[in-house]
Structure 1
Amino acid sequence: MESPSSTSMTFVILVLFQVCLGQLVSAGFPFDRQQRHFVKEVFTCPPKDGFYPIPNVCTGSYYSCVNQVAYEMSCPGDSVFDPAVNVCVPAGQATCQVFQCPAQGGFYHIPGTCGNSYYSCVEGIPYVMNCPGTSIFDPIVGVCVPKEVASCSTTSTTTPSSSDTTTTKYSTIPTGPTPTIAPFTCPDAFGFYPTGIPCDDQFWRCSNTYAYLMTCPPTTIWNQATTVCDYPFAVPGCG
């Protein structure tokens, strides 16, 4: 049985926690009741405290910076965070364009960008995800690839000749293969799977239980361990 002093101390701690929680909520720090903690994201805050948009997206999520620490926040209801005024507004009044998931699930590039971030749609709701390392989300194959071979990038390569040097640039217009529905049974509704051929440059992409045979960009092959198109030397047994 707890002593009166222990009971009083527990009550005091509970009150202090509720006060701190109320201060955080009033400051704009909603408590995640499912994860039971305040969600902290890796984000470089500007010198001034305040609310900031997540780069290159238009959703109901945003960052709250306090003492150079960034916290991911959510707007109430269906409102979105407007990067022009840095406040939550009704979706129809936002200066940015809200991304609409083409399907209930899948991975999609962020329109107008060619970078590390992309959308992951779950039950029709877009979530911002990041590729590992310095890789780029390729809008053609729908996976992360080395930035040098991404179809949307403008990487320059130099080819020496007997007289001069020729510079070739990859096109910024998607020119990759068109996915085709193939006879493959998806283990799950969404995901990426190997073809079964060692060191293959193709892989299966499952979306809404439909299987699509995809081809990695030139000079890369499928790496099932990291679920990205990668250089052969980075895939065990393919170097």
Structure 2
Amino acid sequence: MLIHVQISALVLFAGVAVGQDQSTTDFQCPKKSGFYPDPVQCDLYYHCTLDGDLVEKLCPDGLLFDDSNPSHEKCDTSVNVDCGQRTVQQEPKPSKGCPRANGFYKHWEEGSCDKFVQCVEGVANEMPCPPGLVYDDSASSCAWPVDSKRQCVTTKKDVLPDGFSCPDGDVMGPNGRILPHPTFAHPDDCAKFYICRNGVTPQYGSCSSGSVYNEESFKCDDPENVPGCENYYETTENEEEKKGAKN
């Protein structure tokens, strides 16, 4: 099943006028006033006034003109604008971490596949993809690695303080289906276990009092059903009593 997470733009801009001389462009205004795209350059557009005047306007660097409604003046990111044949853009104005002043881009560290950068007026803001997804710069979105065109195998794993990290590969449950959030037994404590959210993000889990984790069923169970943990609570109580006596 394809799961595709698209990143929504957080900021919208109007362009700035770059000229008002009708002779500087071959564009001809239609009879109806409004905002119209340049046929070649996707971040260039024109404001045609009621008086028949033409104002040439340019979106901020990295944003593109949304020509879906001539009544609205809107520059947006490539996530939300389909340029079609309008493939030309203005010269980029790069800054640290930002290929252009605005927009969404892959993280500057090649190993950080599960992160991306949102650039706003030349300022780079690091953003995470949902757990298990990688940023696909060809689509300006986060997607499952199998569905992404980006070949990214160096995504850094999250590691808990005790050293546990989620193993690679799918985990099959008792019913023969892949577990979306698989769990794993703690090596030293029968009542504790690990949870891997979306198979990649580890966190701690614990059973309620009186039960222990059963790695065969991936659930908490009666101690008598888990080999090696039958006397877990008796042993724990004895150890606590011994500690109390020493104190």
Name which structure has the greater RCO, CA cutoff 8 Å, separation 6+. 2
Structure with greater strand percent: 1
Shorter-chain TM band: under 0.3
TM-score normalised by L of structure 1: 0.27
**Larger-gyration structure (1/2):** 2
